[in-house]
Every structure is written in C-alpha cells, then in structure tokens.
Structure 1
Amino acid sequence: MADAAAEMDAIYRLQRHIYDASRKYYLLGRDGLLDTLDVPLGGSVLEVGCGTGRNLILAARRYPSARFFGFDVSGAMLETAAASVAKAGLSRRITLGQADASRFEPRDLFGVDGFDRVFISYALSMIPPWRETIDRALHAVAPGGSLHIVDFGEQGRLPGAFRTGLRAWLRKFSVEPRAELEAELRRVASETGASLSFERPFRDYACSAILRKPSA
C-alpha cells in the first residue's frame, strides 16, 4: 500500500485543494450514481476510493437515515475529506479510513462485515489492480445489496480528436479507461450469481454499472 499511497499523494497533494471545483466539468455521471443507490432506511454505504469526500457528503445529505463509510489510499486526500466532512457537520455519520482498494477487509477497516450499498466513482481507471478491486468491492456488499460503478468509457461515439486529447490528458494523472470493464463485470456476475446492468451514457464518454447481489 505504501507505494500506491505515495504515488497518489504526489499527484494530489496540491491538486486536492481544487479537485472538486475542476473535476465537476468532466467526471460525468457521479450524481446520477448517487441517485441509483436508493439506500434503505438505516442502511450502510461504502465508497471505495473516496478522495476528497465530495460524494460521501452529497450522499449523506440525500439519505439522512443511512450510515456512510469511505476509504482512500492517499493520506493527503483523506486529510481533505476529513476536513470537508467535519465542515459539513457529518462526522458522526461518515467514517473514513485508509486502505488499498484491491486488498481491503471491511471488518479490519471499519468493524463491518458488509454494506447495503458499495460504490466506486472514477477510481477504477486509476487503480492498476482494478479487477481485484471489483472483487473486493463486491465481497463487501451484503447479501441483497448492490455495487455501483461509474467511470470513463471508451468515448467510441465521440470525435476522434476529442478522444485522443482526452486520453493524453488523463495519462498525466495516471488515469486509464478500462476497455475490458464491461466484459469483466459480466464475468463476475456470471460467477457470483449477481445481476448486472451496464450503460454507456454521454455517447460513451462514461460508463455506469450496477451489480446486484442475490439475497442469502
């Protein structure tokens, strides 16, 4: 975890202060993901790769009876997240931790065996072991719960020059859209008995998915 944390800290140590203001223009679909959570009363929600805490704060306001948890590998991002959560007056409802997304254990991290909802927003494209991260995230979903994902798509229905420029810019931040994401999710769904819905909104600029875990 140390190497991944150091890399992310190096990228975001300064950028974290302007991250939310700048990313709202191109991290499309994040708020739509929060709409799909449909958290049950008194439910629990985990964000994998919570960054600045922006999504957790919005979700906590949207679902006032739920309890929220989030973790990130970057200590610098977590400093910003903790300050933002405290400023929002949500420290009692949002618990933060530091962990590697591809190896985390919910009970070790938060003392919780599973969550009603788990979501990953624009993080898989930054995590080299992204397949392992999906496995761990689905493992953290309680029976009958769901895993929600939004990230960059393939931009296949957008102008080629736009796609080329976007990919070059994203690489500066160690971001790589996962071309095999849909295929991997379909494999996981088949092997675990989960149901999958997968969409490519904004002309394939983004992709969004929901894996629903069967009840026990």
Structure 2
Amino acid sequence: MSQAGGAAEQKQAMDAVYAFHRHIYDFTRKFYLFGRDRLIAQLAPPPNGSVLEVGCGTARNLIVAARRWPDARFYGFDISEAMLETARKSVAGAGLGDRITLAQGDAGSFDVETLFGLAQVDRAFMSYTLSMIPPWQEAIERGAACLAPGGSLHIVDFGQYERLPGWARRLHFKSLNDFHVFPRRELPAVLKRVAEAEGLGLDFTPLHRGYAWSAALRRA
C-alpha cells in the first residue's frame, strides 16, 4: 500500500471514530490522559517562539498552552477533519484565532514549511498521539528533524504499567485497543535511536508508576 493510500485510510478511520466522540472527547479524556499539563508547563518557548502540536485533536492542548505562554505562536495539525472542525470552533471561541493556526496533515509525513510556511519550530509536542497513529516512529523522526537550534520535542503517552498490577494493564489496554489506541512498548528504544541519529539529548521519565511515559528530545 502506498503512503498516500495509508494516510487516506487512517483519515477515514479517525473521522469515523471521532464523528461523535469529538463532542465528548475533552470531558472524558481528562480523567485518564495524565501528564498533559505537566508537558505544557515544561515547554517554555523563547519569546516569539513557535510551538507545534502533532495530532492536535480538539485543540485543547493548544489553547491551554497559548494561555500559559502568551508570547509564543502556536500551530497544530491533525489527520481528522472531524476533529479539526471542533478544534477551529474551540480556538475561535477562546479568542485565540490570531495566535493558533490549524491545518490538516499526516503525522507520518508532515512538513512544517508545507503546512505553515515555517522552516523550523522552537518546540514541538505530541500528547497521547503516538499510541493512535500507525506511522508513530516516522512522526517522532519528523518531529525531531524540524527542531530549530535550541529546540525540543516533548512527548507524553501511555506507558507499559511497569509498576502497576497486571490485571489493570490488561483491562485498560483492552479498552484502549477498542478505540484504536495502542501503547507503544518500543517507545524508549525508538527515542534513543532518533536522539542518536539527530544528535539530540534525551530525557525519559515514567509517570504514575508507568501509567504514562514522558520524554523530551533536545537540540543543542
């Protein structure tokens, strides 16, 4: 299957999943998507810096980040047009249309210049995105490659429940899989590979006994 064909199928699948769930997404996800606001607090973009969210969904994170860091410019894209419809309404309702720019794009093949006219970005982040997209390794590679000097890529996603009961892992992972969400066991190894290939520093932190994993790739 071609890359374009795979992206089209992914878009169709995500639109189908979120045609209804986008309306209750933010309310329900706040109960188990832990670490998102911790990630936003750590962004600390430079004055007039650019911040990109890969897989922005409803734009909840972009809105929180734009309020937290008022001197930065924010950009987000998602493959699902259904989610972007909700995101555009949310951004407009928050009065942040002049600081948040949205576009439709594929996380596995995105280019910030094509999407937003940017050569590089100062900060990029992926919040519970990698467990939802098939080309998740390519998304990390492209996110790292688009960083400006001094830039950083921040990630939070489901971990592997390393220090939690096995029954809890099985039960939660089953419920996640039903919504096409697959926690990435290989994430630490992939982050290490990308960091070495790009000459980046890597910080990796398990959260809540392995419920979530947090990481940052930093360019000197």
Task: Please report the TM-score for the alignment, with normalisation by the length of structure 2.
Answer: 0.96
Unmatched 5+ stretches in structure 1:
none
Task: Tell me if 1:163 matches 2:169.
Answer: yes
Task: Tell me if 1:123 matches 2:129.
Answer: yes
The aligned residue for residue 58 of structure 1 is 64
The 2-side partners of 1:32 and 1:189 are apart by: 22
Q: What do residues 58-111 of structure 1 show as CA deviations (whole Å, max 9, x unaligned)?
A: 000001011000000000000000000000000000000000000011111000
Task: Tell me if 1:29 matches 2:29.
Answer: no
The 2-side partners of 1:108 and 1:11 are apart by: 27
Q: 2:46 aligns with which of 40, 43, 46?
A: 40
The 2-side partners of 1:131 and 1:28 are apart by: 22
Letter in 1 for 2:71: S
Q: What do residues 141-183 of structure 1 show as CA deviations (whole Å, max 9, x unaligned)?
A: 1121000000000012111111110010000111111001011
Per-residue deviation, 1:207: 0.1
Task: Please report the TM-score for the alignment, with normalisation by the length of structure 1.
Answer: 0.98
Q: CA RMSD in A?
A: 0.6
Letter in 1 for 2:38: G
Unmatched 5+ stretches in structure 2:
1-6
3-state SS of paired residue (1:13): helix
The aligned residue for residue 149 of structure 2 is 143
Q: What do residues 4-30 of structure 1 show as CA deviations (whole Å, max 9, x unaligned)?
A: 111000001100000000000100000
Task: Tell me if 1:176 matches 2:176.
Answer: no
Q: 1:85 aligns with which of 78, 91, 100?
A: 91
The aligned residue for residue 69 of structure 1 is 75
Letter in 2 for 1:105: D
The 1-side partners of 2:57 and 2:101 are apart by: 13
**Alignment check: 8 A CA contact 2:145 2:198 kept:** no
Dislocated runs of 4+, deviation >3 Å: none
3-state SS of paired residue (2:91): helix
Q: 1:110 aligns with which of 113, 116, 128?
A: 116
The 2-side partners of 1:9 and 1:131 are apart by: 22
3-state SS of paired residue (1:135): helix
Q: What do residues 178-204 of structure 1 show as CA deviations (whole Å, max 9, x unaligned)?
A: 001011111111121100000001000
